[in-house]
A and B are shown apart, each in its own frame.
Chain A
Amino acid sequence: MRRASAAWLLCLIALSVTTPACADVGQTIETFTLDNGMKVIVLPNHRVPAVNHMLWFYVGAADDPVGKSGLAHYHEHLMFKGSPAFASGEYVRQLQKHGGEHNAFTGYDTTSYYVTIAKEHLPLVMQLEADRLRGLTVSEAEAEKEKDVVVEERRQRIDNSPAAQLAEQMNAAMFLNHPYQRPMIGWQHEMQGLTLSDARDFHAKYYHPGNAVLIVSGDITADELRPLAKKYYGALPAHTTPERHWLQEPPHLAERHVTLRHQYVNQPAFTRSYKAPSVHMSDKPTAISLVVLSHLLGGGKNSVLYQSLVVEQKLAAAVDVSYNFYAYGFSEFTISIVPEKGISLEKIEQALDKQLANFIKQGVDEAALARTKRMMQAEAMYAREGLTSTSNIMGWIIMAGMEPQDFNRWPEMIEAATASHIMQAAHNLLQPTASVTGYLLPEETP
């Protein structure tokens, strides 16, 4: 029951893509829709006699009611605590018995639940999943214990780690009004006030077939899946889900600097985040240009920032750039730098700004762009191998508002990102007023 973490998002970017020069990825993609509105996507892959069943919901932490941050994630935990036909613990026990691996992820925009299992047990999985769409049957006492668990999860992920605390504070500084400003896992004081009745209301509001996309990859075809989907999910009543009316961001007028000092920070670290458009907030070419830009700037040892800050100037030990194209609201484009021992963050910041200004002035190195694209295009072919990677990537593509066939079009979308698109996207992105800079520092010595 992990949250979608930064690593998770990075992993998707790394995985998303195909073969050199625009070859089709060649993944068979079949789709149909049930009468109650549930969309179904089938991704046949007959390498092993198993399937990955993934249910995605258009609801996430950004839909948490004001004052109840952490509710989407808490609700996700309670989904494992019993449903009308299955007592508490039965979901896990049934999957244990039948060799199913399972987990769930809560993000800002989406929540997903997956099971990977031998093909013959797919009907059982669909029965379990469909049943928990009918409601939460967890007892008050168990729900209270699970609240302790999610608070422990918060302590483990955030409160134990100065770097995670800084990331949370930077996030709150990035978004002035949008619900993305709150942590996905919730603020602790609000988490402690969550109730079972909050979770039940949340369920009744959002967990309906029409608000879900079912993705099944593996040893199956649409013809085989359709009768099962009709039997298990088709029996659920159609129900409307409220439209999203998230608070929107006002113009960003000021660069923000956030500093966190901590006694357990030995080695300072630098982070710069820019508010960035996603596919949903702009268009595919813009977002894909930013994906390519993130690789050009920080994807590996040939990237602009690694070459400049690590190799030539010897200021940094590591550079990382991350961006996800699939946020429903605004995304972030984040540059993280670990300075070499003894190098100040001010020096890193100056060197970064100078290098970014140079990049804007000089433009993209065409040879480097061609190389980067080749690697990125091949990633889609690599992603086709795994049982879960295809359904994962398909899920993000759909949640981003893209078409299922965009999975196969990834190489051509990458190819279409020309130097001028990328430079335009970079120019629009790298606005100081749309940025938050984070300093992670040791405690000041008196």
Chain B
Amino acid sequence: MIRAFILTICVLVLPWHSARAEIQEIKTPAGFTIWLMEDHSLPLIAAYMVFRGSGLAYDPSGKEGRGNMAAALLMEGAGDMDDAAFNAALEEYAIRMNVGVDDDTLQATLQTLTTNKSKAFAMLADILIRPRFDGEAIDRTRRKIETILHEQATSPYYKLSRAWQEMNYPGHPYGRLGLGDAATLKELEREDFQHYTTRYLTKENIIISVVGDVNKEEITRLVDEHFSAMPDHYQPDSKVVDTVFPSVADTIFISHDMPQTLIKVGLPGIARSDPDFIAAYILNHIIGGSGLGSRLADAIRIKRGLTYSISTGLNPKTHANEWIGMFSTRSGKAEEAVEVFKNILQEVAEHGVTAEELADAKSFLTSSYILNLSSNEEIASYLSMIQFHHLGMGYLKTRNDLMNAVALEDIRRVSQRLILPAHLRMVMVGKSL
């Protein structure tokens, strides 16, 4: 009977083979929205659930580390199973389940064999709605995080990323240590984690994507049966305000005795919703996003042998946008490498890119589109990204058209707007420049 209520808003045909041709948007009777892509070629299902506004930046002041620790604890016992029973059941039913958290969101992923789907979705619902937060598990998890904090304190990569956060997001939650510190961790209690799950993991802010051997009637039933007890309303403790990545040049050098100097550079980026995002994406690909073929790799690695890896990328977050680059070079060569880096940016800022570079980049990005969308999990994750950024169901199909529509003038306009070498912000960690 439930089936009669399913409203399939939209069906979209994709360049995949017929087996995985359609994306369906399902509104369930219990009020969930599910994006489903059916594929019955293997007896496997992947699900990806994302909660907006539930990431590390949303921990209230004084409770830094709450979201990270809660996320770790979700997999330490749920429903009527303690941690040992829960993990035994995952093995017993060959279920893969993971919880991750970043600045903006908490994500739960699931992979199951079709035969065990009911158990798998029941267990996923348990961790999100009925986590136990047993005392032993809390203490153990707290000690683990303390150990991680202790371990990373002397890592050059940690020093780099802490300096980066503090330099670019002072006073904003993006500038805090997301794992918390010894003082905040000590204060976190069971009630804090319960508070977190009931207010942050809710029907109002969940995004659900499912791909694989399941049809819309089945997935509707599975989600409504197991997840309907999820709290309705998202009630965050505090609001996170938008901020901007500073557009003033600055450099921090941190002394760390090792053979290479690590270098992270950045500029203000561009929002995912900006009409020029796609042009910026292509521009980034040409400058430093395409591995060995990029301008930066050519100049710094291939021509000068100064680095093994160099890459750049756009990092659009909910409350700020960055364009960042990372590379490392032997001590004594950092200044030279940075100089070359800036010169490449200057060239792009002044002259844009060539028609051939643009054509090649478009060709690569459009032809390689499907390569990373071959497994259920990859597709589920991609559908979640589209939902998260409100790009609309049509994006899957129009993405390549949007790429192809980008002209040299678009690239020039975006270069002039984004590629501002005089504003470059930089953190270096090493023995010497």
| A interface residues with partner B (beta carbon < 8 Å) | 19-20, 46-50, 80, 89, 92-93, 96-101, 116-118, 121, 142, 144-150, 152-153, 155-156, 159-160, 219, 263-267, 300-302, 307, 310-311, 314, 317-318, 338-341, 371-372, 374-375, 377-379, 381-382, 384-387, 389
Contact = CB atoms under 8 A, between A and B. Distances in A.
B156 interface: yes
A325 B305 CA distance: 36
A389 B308 CA distance: 26
Interface stretch (B242-250, B340-348, B373-381): B373-381
Interface of B: 15-17, 19-20, 39, 41-44, 83-84, 87-88, 90-94, 96, 111, 113, 115, 136, 140, 143-144, 146-148, 150-151, 153-156, 256-260, 262, 290-293, 301-309, 328-330, 360-361, 363-378
Nearest to B291: A92
B143 A317 contact: yes
A101 B368 contact: yes
Given A20-B115, A48-B20, A145-B303, 17 more contacts: A46-B19, A48-B17, A50-B370, A92-B292, A98-B364, A145-B302, A155-B260, A155-B308, A160-B260, A267-B150, A311-B140, A317-B143, A317-B144, A317-B147, A340-B144, A341-B150, A374-B91
A311 B85 CA distance: 13
Counting chain A CB atoms within 10 Å of each CB, which of B42, B96, B302, B371 scores highest?
B371
Nearest to A300: B87
Contact of A371 (B91, B111, B262, B328): B91
B91 A302 contact: yes
Contacts of B83: 301, 311
A152 B293 contact: no
Given A96-B290, A317-B143, A385-B374, A156 B260 contact: yes
Nearest to B111: A382
Given A99-B367, A311-B140, A375-B91, A47 B307 contact: no
Contact of A101 (B19, B305, B371): B371
A149 B305 contact: yes
Nearest to B309: A156
A99 B371 contact: yes
A97 B93 CA distance: 44
Contacts of A264: 154-156, 256-258
Contact of B373 (A48, A100, A118, A142): A48
A285 B383 CA distance: 42
A153 to B, nearest CB: 4
A153 B306 CA distance: 10
B17 A49 contact: yes
| Residue among B111, B258, B293, B374 facing the most chain A CB atoms (10 A cut-off) | B374
21 contacts: A47-B41, A93-B360, A97-B360, A99-B366, A117-B368, A118-B370, A145-B302, A145-B303, A149-B308, A152-B308, A159-B259, A160-B258, A311-B140, A317-B143, A317-B148, A318-B144, A339-B147, A341-B146, A341-B147, A385-B42, A386-B374
Contacts of A300: 87, 91
A425 B304 CA distance: 51
A266 B292 contact: no
A385 B375 contact: yes
Given A47-B19, A153-B308, A374 B144 contact: no
Mostly helix, strand, loop or mixed at chain A's interface? mixed
A-B pairs, top 9 by smallest CB distance, nearest first, are A99-B367, A148-B305, A378-B94, A267-B151, A99-B368, A153-B308, A385-B375, A145-B305, A317-B147
A375 B42 contact: no
Nearest to A339: B147
Nearest to A118: B367
Contacts of A152: 260, 305-308, 328-330
Given A152-B305, A378-B94, A99 B374 contact: no
A179 B16 CA distance: 47
Contacts of B376: 385
A92 B364 CA distance: 11
A371 B17 CA distance: 36
Contact of B42 (A20, A118, A145, A381): A381
A144 B305 CA distance: 9
Contacts of A145: 302-305
Nearest to A302: B87
Contacts of A160: 156, 258-260, 262, 328
Given A98-B363, A317-B144, A378-B113, A384 B94 contact: no
Nearest to A388: B374
Nearest to B182: A341
Contacts of A156: 260, 308-309, 328
Contacts of B372: 101
A339 B150 CA distance: 11
A152 B328 CA distance: 8
B113 A19 contact: yes
Contacts of A80: 292
A428 B115 CA distance: 38
A422 B98 CA distance: 29
Contact of B94 (A48, A375, A385, A387): A375
Contact of B16 (A19, A47, A310, A385): A47
A325 to B, nearest CB: 20
B214 to A, nearest CB: 15
Contacts of B44: 381-382, 385
A186 B15 CA distance: 45
B329 A48 contact: no
B79 to A, nearest CB: 17
Nearest to B372: A101
Contacts of B262: 160
B333 to A, nearest CB: 9
A385 B377 contact: yes
Contacts of A46: 17, 19, 41
Contact of A266 (B43, B154, B364): B154
Contacts of B84: 301-302, 307, 311
B36 to A, nearest CB: 17
B370 A96 contact: no
Contacts of B140: 310-311, 314
B295 to A, nearest CB: 12
A146 B305 contact: yes
A70 to B, nearest CB: 13
A148 B369 CA distance: 33
Contacts of A382: 44, 96, 111
B374 A48 contact: yes
Given A386-B375, A387-B371, A47 B20 contact: yes
A118 to B, nearest CB: 5
A4 B259 CA distance: 23
Contacts of B115: 20
Contacts of B292: 80, 92
Given A99-B371, A311-B140, A267 B259 contact: no
Given A48-B373, A302-B87, A386-B375, A371 B92 contact: yes
Contacts of A101: 368, 371-372
B228 to A, nearest CB: 29
Contact of A341 (B143, B155, B363): B143
A100 to B, nearest CB: 7
